[in-house]
Each structure stands twice: as C-alpha cells, then as structure tokens.
Structure 1
C-alpha cells in the first residue's frame, strides 16, 4: 500500500505528517544566505555547533572596529517549535536589524524542531548553543567573532512566541543552577511569549508528549515555585493588544513581579497589533518603536 500521500496527522497552518513518516511544513521553509547588509553594514555567517545533532546558528556582527567589545545577544526564533529558522527571511532580516539598531553581536540559534524532534529537544539544543557561546568567555573559543567582539559581562537572551518560551526556560535554568549555562545573563526580552494557561492543546500534546501537564514550568511559569530564582536581573515583556497570547504575557509579567525575584521587570503593550506583527511589517511605525525599545534595553547602564 502506498502511504506517501496519506495524512496521519494534520496541524494547519504549521505542518502535516504522512503515514510513511514524511513531514511537510506549510510555512517558514524559505531561506536566505548569510550576507553583508548593504544599508547597515551588518555581517552574518552560519556556523555549526554540533555536527552530530545538526545544531547550528547564524551570527550577526555590526560594522565595528577590530578591538571593540559589544553586548552579546542570544536570540531564539519562534514558530510554534516547528516552523521557521534563523535563516528564514523573517528572522534573518529581523535579527540583523536588531544587531544594527542595538549594536550587538547576535547568535540566532537553529534548534532542532518538532515534529521530527519532539520537545524538550529544542530546549536542550538551546542550552547546548548557549554553553557553546560561553566557551568563548576567555577569548579562546572556536569562533573569532565572539572571541574578538562579544562582551561577556553584557549578555542578553531574547526570543518571540515559542522562542520567548525557550528564552524564559533558559533564564530559569540559569537561576536554579548558575553553572548550567556558563554565562551571567544580564537581561531578557520576551516578545509575545507562548505560555499556556490551561490544558495543552492537540498540537502541544503531539509535539511535547512528555509534558508534565498544567504545572510544567516551561509552560505555566505562574505556578513555578522556582520563578523567584530567574537567572537575570532585568526582564522586558512585550505584548500586543490583539494577540491571543496577550493575557499570558501579562500573567507572566505579574507572576515574575510577585514571585520575590529581586530584578526589575517592565512590560510594553503595542496597541492595535497582533501576534509578531513586527516580523511581518518591520518598517511600520510601531515595529520601529519596538526595535528602539529593545535596543535601549540592551544598552542601558
């Protein structure tokens, strides 16, 4: 029997799985090569972190002097844990614009995605990528851009949607065991974060079959007794008024503030906009305002 065209699982608009095991992604499959942006001068290149797993990243370096140290931004892309990459037009262009506006060195992580690689692999890959970056602290790591230009006293995490969820998980792990990441995370920006305030839906049950349920700290930070140990000193939460995840972002912000955590948390709400609007319309006034707010966060004293 030919199973190649028979659908076993269908999760529009993200992906479908056929009975022969083939996965068809419905969005986020286009890619751009690394380049030098002719307008901003930001350089980019791709590196392999683990040949065994395929873990990789795209690096972004602003046009700077040879000996200047810049803040290090570790960026985690969104896409429901299953679509998009750092190499897609949405994320290549956006992280490049952040690197230019904020004058930061950026590591945009290409974690393994569901459904071929079920959660929590995306978390494990992100942790491994951060540990790889941390290996450059003394200026003798495998990547020259990080050795020469990354200021490891000013390290930030950021991500949107599912990537914001992963970024939070990394900051939480850093707070529980400060040796785990190998880096001192100064601050974190989470944009339109994907948290779940009720029972996981069909997609999450499929791509994260070992999720512990309503108390899983990766998806229910409000119930996390270790939230007060969040491993950074600054958090900026970004929500959008028309986003279905808006209330979850606000809930996260309030939970962090009430947890007993000793850092400073702020929240920005963009009126009249929907989920990750800044990726789809990066030149609009509100997206540019958000970009400047993020840049200010990464460069505050």
Structure 2
C-alpha cells in the first residue's frame, strides 16, 4: 500500500483532515437527509441545481400556504461550518430552517456553495453571489422555479447565515451596496455568531483562503472596511454567545458599523451561558427557541 495514503499533512479538528495524497476527510457535517414536507408545520422542501457548470445548488423551503395571492418575504440563507463542512442538507440545518420558515412565514433559499479546501475561498463568496442572482432573476415571476415566481415578494428580501455563513452574508450585503443586485434591495441581514476570524482560526484560514492578507482582511473581518457605510441593507441583527471566542469581534463589528455613517439600524443580542452555534446542536433548548423567535420577528417587522 502506498505510504502516502494515510499520511496526514493538515489536521484541523473538528473540521477537516487532509492527507498527503490530496484526500480530504470531513470530520463533521457529512450526514444528509432528503427534502420532505414536515407533518407538524406543513413546510415543504425540495432541492434544486442552480448551476450545472459549478454544481452550486440549494434547498428551497416553502411554508404552508393559506392564501395563494399573498406574497411572502424571501430569505436567502448561508450555512456555516468554517467554509469547509456542513451543507443545507444536513439534519441540523434542515431542521433549523424548517423551524425558522414556519415561524417567520417566509420562502427560503438555503445555498450549497462549493467548499474549501478543494475549492479555496473566495469561491464560496462567488457561488453565493451567483445563487443570489439566480434567486433575484425570478423578480418578474418568469424564472425557472415556480415557488419563487408564485410566492415571493421581491421587495422584502433578507440574508441570514451562521458562523462562516454569517461572514459570507455580510460580504454579500456589502456587495449589494457597492455593486447593486439587479435593481432590488435587501431589507435586512441576520448574522448568527459570525466567523470574523481570530488567532485560533488563522492556520485554517491560511490554508483555505490563500489570498488572505491575515485575520484582519476585510473579507473575513470587516471592521476596518472604508466602504462599510455602503452596506446594502437597512437593518442588521447580530447574535453572539457569551462563551464563544468569536464574540468580541461580533461586538466590535456592530460598534464600528454604527459609527461608519451607514444609514441603518443595527441590533446585537448576546446569549448568556452558551457557546458557538449552540442553537444548531441543542435546538429544543429555551435559548435556541428564543433565538429562532427573534430571527422570525426581525423578518416580520414593518419597515
């Protein structure tokens, strides 16, 4: 047997292990479940391919429809997992989105971007932007996906993500503000325990984001961004957790955003006694249920 087969060259528990022969072993987030109609909430789900060329795909969620003429907000959701594990098809993300969609009464596109290290960053950013453009292409009700044509109010669009997905969500809102997005506007973004980098994450980031200039690079940590005032939404909700090592940068982001000249409203919520993405690992606890309720309330506010 080739001695290279099992020789580990990079080990980043609990995320990935990379072997000398190039093989990538994902240590978490590999389990998937099929799309279903939830018997309790009536939320439907289905999987679609956005790009045959890149393989970018998504899981769509449709809440129980009680009035076929009433259009619903659109949530574009970006999963976390250190840019290299997890997917919209994992039980944790499927169940989280199912609960959120039922409470918020929104249509959701949960994006499956190409993951590092096989596809180094910023590929995940580019994939997410392409998926957003695909979703927005339904704004005249003539796109390829009936759920978006028939049920979405494209005047009410939200972005949300957790951990690495929250980092991508911020970058997408920035790009909307700087470059525009097919004439539509994003009302708000929800960043749950954003992965804005720290010293502990630097070695992994060096590997999966080779063009990064350090953990203060604006694509990972936007606090030093001179374009922050152009963030392309009017509301921001940030969640941090008391025991999360990424908490301080979440707080700093909010403080800098408030002072940047951005003409919007930012709110931050710190959950006591909890760690990073606790709501995915313990979704039935009282604090996780409160977090989902706050996310739903944010999307249901009248502007």
TM-score past 0.5 threshold: yes
> d(CA) in 2 for partners of 1:247 and 1:212?
21
Q: Which residue, 124, 127, 133 being the options, matches 2:126? A: 124
- Cα offset for 1:214? 4.9
Q: Which runs of 5+ in 1 are unaligned?
A: none
> d(CA) in 2 for partners of 1:90 and 1:214?
28
Q: Which residue, 81, 84, 92 being the options, matches 2:83? A: 81
SS at match of 1:38: coil
The corresponding residue for 1:172 is 174
> d(CA) in 2 for partners of 1:71 and 1:269?
26
- Cα offset for 1:215? 4.7
SS at match of 1:201: helix
Count of residue correspondences: 300
Contact 2:8 2:20 in 1 (8 A): yes
With the length of structure 2 as denominator, give the TM-score of the two structures. Answer: 0.96
Matched, 1:59 2:49: no
The corresponding residue for 1:17 is 18
- Cα offset for 1:212? 2.7
SS at match of 2:126: helix
The corresponding residue for 2:234 is 233
Q: Which of 209-218 and 37-46 deviates more?
A: 209-218
Q: 1:214 to 1:34 in 2, by over 3 A?
A: closer
- Any idea what the Cα deviations from partners look like across 1:88-125, whole Å, max 9, x if unmatched? 01100001111001000000000000111000000000
The corresponding residue for 1:26 is 27
The corresponding residue for 2:39 is 38
- CA RMSD after TM alignment: 1.3
Q: Which runs of 5+ in 2 are unaligned?
A: none
SS at match of 1:73: strand
After TM superposition, the structure 1 = structure 2 runs for residues 95-134 of structure 1, keeping only pairs within 5 Å, are 95-134=97-136
SS at match of 1:233: strand
- Any idea what the Cα deviations from partners look like across 1:167-188, whole Å, max 9, x if unmatched? 0000011111124x65310100
Contact 2:6 2:19 in 1 (8 A): yes
With the length of structure 1 as denominator, give the TM-score of the two structures. Answer: 0.97
> d(CA) in 1 for partners of 2:255 and 2:198?
14
- Cα offset for 1:199? 9.1
- Cα offset for 1:220? 2.2
- The 4+ residue runs of structure 1 with deviation greater than 3 A are 197-200
Contact 1:57 1:109 in 2 (8 A): yes
Matched, 1:69 2:71: yes
Contact 1:76 1:163 in 2 (8 A): yes
Contact 1:199 1:213 in 2 (8 A): no
Matched, 1:186 2:174: no
The corresponding residue for 1:258 is 259
